[in-house]
Amino acid sequence: MRDGGRVSAAIEVLTEIETRHFPVKMALKRWGEAARYAGSKDRAFVSGLVLDALRRKRSLGWMMGDASARGVVLGVLAFTWKWPAERIAEAASEEHGFGPLSEAELARLKDPVSLDGAPAPVAGDYPDWLEPHLARALGADQAVEMAALAERAPVDLRINTLKADAERGAKALAPINAVPAGILPNAFRIPAPAAADRTPSVEAVPAFSKGWFEVQDLGSQIAAAVAGEVKGKQVLDFCAGGGGKTLALAAAMGNSGQIFAHDADARRLADTIRRGQRAGVRNLQIRSPIEAQPLKGLEAKIDVVFVDAPCTGAGTWRRHPDAKWRLSPDQLAKRQIEQDSVMEDASTFVKPGGRMVYVTCSLLTEENEDRVAAFLERHPEFTVRPIALDGVTHVTPEGYLRLTPHRAGTDGFFAAVLERSTYAP
């Protein structure tokens, strides 16, 4: 495909997302199934252009004076990908292109509207209703954090210490240009690709099939690490999902003790079984909700209960930019109810002297500090155990972990460690 056809396809996909409210993965899949002629580079180009448009669609629409899919895509090409106006005009007029540029479009490409007078949600690329929530959570750093959330994300990897060490892992990852990510010794990073480029195929590295490493955001790795010493312990991953943090915890346990993986959705646990086998985990028990009482017998017996709570995902917008446009006030309220319920249920498995780790991949205070405060109000037998982790400086005065793209170079994450007293409540 030539540039004009690729750009035209991106406009088509973005239009379908906006008019039919499809998730971006579904819209791209539908286009790919219809465009059998498109090669891997074409698909990477179209996907990258669509995702970059979703990351900055309000600010780009403002700069172009046109918030349509076409206007935003033209803005990506000019202001994010740095194409000169002449190249854009040439692509527009190609066969299968997206149609000649109008005089107004050409003028905006050369002289965009300044963002200096734009409202904060426009300049920061998020829905208007989120303004007070983000202002509360991010304070003076709101503008720089939202700018960081609109950037492309790197690919982070965790060396699986059940199969390899950091030195051997580094050699295996060298062909795909992975470098130490910092903070954690077993974390590596592939920098975000340039515009229209693809990230190297992680699965193609022979060591991946051997279980030497997993794809996992650095923030997620740090969140798992705040569980503290887990070797020889009884650990319950209460919302295990696909098993990313389950595997990180299992590696930290060194196949000692016992780790139980549970999730409300049995289908998600199927991937945990497969991934656990590849990673060489031998101390994992799957407790599926298809069983009548999957967690029976574990009440008040678990040393560490890890709660990766359902949340809005407001910390992952670099990777899932369509999520911020689909989020609504009702969904935020629903998540808070779910978070309270999950913490209530999970806390019953914490033994006296044990701890519960509450984690979200959200930036919003309503899902984080507020939920912990509400739980502690109901449960005086729990207290905050301030997080202390070597190399981690992103700890709030209350002792909680708060990671953000600008400050930590990770997805947005929150974690709190709550310790249960040794006396009966």
Binding site feature residues for S-adenosyl-L-methionine: 263, 308
Among candidate residues 361, 364, 403, 408, the one labeled active-site is: 361
Integer angstrom CA distances of residue 417 from 123, 356, 359, 372: 35, 6, 9, 10
Cβ within 8 Å of residue 132, ≥6 positions away: none
Instruction: Identify which of 86, 20, 22, 15 has the alpha carbon closest to the alpha carbon of residue 49.
Output: 15
Q: Are 50 and 8 in contact (CB under 8 A)?
A: no
Tally of helices (H runs) and strands (E runs) in the chain: 19, 12
Instruction: Identify which of 254, 328, 259, 330 has the alpha carbon closest to the alpha carbon of residue 298.
Output: 259
3-state secondary structure 155-190: EEEEECCCCCCHHHHHHHHHHHCCEECCCCCCEEEE
Q: Are 187 and 221 in contact (CB under 8 A)?
A: yes
Residue with tokens 């009966």: 424
Residue with tokens 């304070």: 139
d(CA 331, CA 156): 29
- Partners of 235 in the β-ladder: 259, 304
Q: Are 60 and 79 in contact (CB under 8 A)?
A: yes
Integer angstrom CA distances of residue 192 from 55, 137, 198, 244: 14, 26, 9, 21
311 flagged as catalytic: no
Q: Are 260 and 297 in contact (CB under 8 A)?
A: no
DSSP state of 410: S
Annotated binding site: 263, 308
d(CA 376, CA 37): 57
Cβ within 8 Å of residue 137, ≥6 positions away: 363, 364, 365, 368
Backbone angles phi, psi at 403, to 5 degrees: -110, 140
d(CA 419, CA 229): 14
As annotated, the active-site residues are: 361
